[in-house]
Structure 1
Amino acid sequence: MDVKPKCVLVSACLLGEKCKYNGGHNYNQALVDYVAGKEVVAICPEVLAGLPTPREPVELVDGHVLDKRGNCYDDLFEKGIERCVHELAKKSIDLAVLQSRSPSCGVNQIYDGNFSGKKVAGSGLFAQKLKALGYPVLDVEDIKQLEGK
């Protein structure tokens, strides 16, 4: 990225919002330092879908969002993603920095769909949507690439 982003979309859990499935967060100081002085849009597609915190963990299984018992969350996830896209249309997002491995926000890796803890190459549904819409998307684990930008 050659231009310094002015408006950054960030997974809300990375800023310390307790919106993870287990009721926790993924606060990331390097990201907080990076976005200082920039407009920040913090968003959690799963919360915007109306899912509670805490909630059952879900993984992507053959393109579907399922919990361990096989309950399908496709419609809720789609609703959350559409709400996010609607919110983003009001902003001029230059960059999205998303939480690793999430079934919504994972950029480079997600869990394998067996609830085994094993990771595989792939992207979460919200990350896929952002990429399809042409937004630059970065996994928070790659934040060091942005130093000085």
Structure 2
Amino acid sequence: MSMDKDFSITPAEVVGGSEQADAASQLADLPAGAPILVSACLLGQPCRYDGRAKTYPGVQALARRYVLYPICPEVAGGLSTPRPPAERQGEAVRTADGQDLTAAYRQGAACAVAMAAAHHIRLAILKAKSPSCGSGQIYDGSFSRSLIPGQGVAAEALQAAGVLVLSEQDLPMAGPDPSDKD
């Protein structure tokens, strides 16, 4: 897909963690200064549902070469920090007690797509397994910590808008984070 700038990114399906070489080649194709949308929690902002950050050094290191645009779609959609954990249940997003947060998640996804469009962003690195940002795998909606193939609401919207979505686990300098329990 062509960009207004002097570079392009090959459209792809959501990249799984086993395809790190693909992620490395996508990053290598980006010129210095290219814009990348990044989950704010990966950059150290305490915006996760539990009020913490999930700082990821491999993502932070990208700031030396690229322009990173942090976003937390859940906060952008009007949710507070901290907030009850939520999971996708089909097209809906609900808390364990059944509160429907779908509208807030969709609003946050729309904000992420608008930010990507405004800054000509064609690559996003989002938090794995999140009901908003997850790519490749998300929790199954039963609050049992079981993973299923799928995407978070914002990841799905960004991909539909032509943005390649990776997780921090897809980065070539990454591997599974042993402390990553969510």
- Give TM-score scaled by structure 2 length: 0.76
Q: Deviations over 1:30-77 (max 9, x none)?
A: 111123231111001000011110001000012210001111011111
Match of 2:85 among 57, 71, 95: 57
Matched, 1:133 2:161: yes
Match of 2:72 in 1: 44
* Secondary structure of 1:75 counterpart: helix
- How many Å apart are 1:102 and its aligned residue? 0.2
Q: Return the letter of the residue paired with 1:115.
A: F
Q: Using the TM superposition, name which of 33-42 and 60-69 deviates more.
A: 33-42
Match of 2:146 in 1: 118
Match of 1:25 in 2: 53
Asked whether the 8 Å contact 1:101–1:111 carries over to 2, the reply is: yes
- How many Å apart are 1:145 and its aligned residue? 6.9
Q: Using the TM superposition, name which of 88-97 and 50-59 deviates more.
A: 88-97
Cα-Cα RMSD? 1.5
Q: Return the letter of the residue paired with 1:3.
A: D
Unaligned runs of 5+ in 2: 1-25, 175-182
Unaligned runs of 5+ in 1: none
Matched, 1:3 2:9: no
- Give TM-score scaled by structure 1 length: 0.92
The list of structure 1 runs, each at least 4 consecutive aligned residues, that deviate by more than 3 angstroms after superposition, is none
Percent identity between matched residues is 37
Match of 2:129 in 1: 101
* Secondary structure of 1:122 counterpart: strand
- Between the two proteins, the alignment pairs up a number of residues equal to 146
Q: Return the letter of the residue paired with 1:79.
A: Q
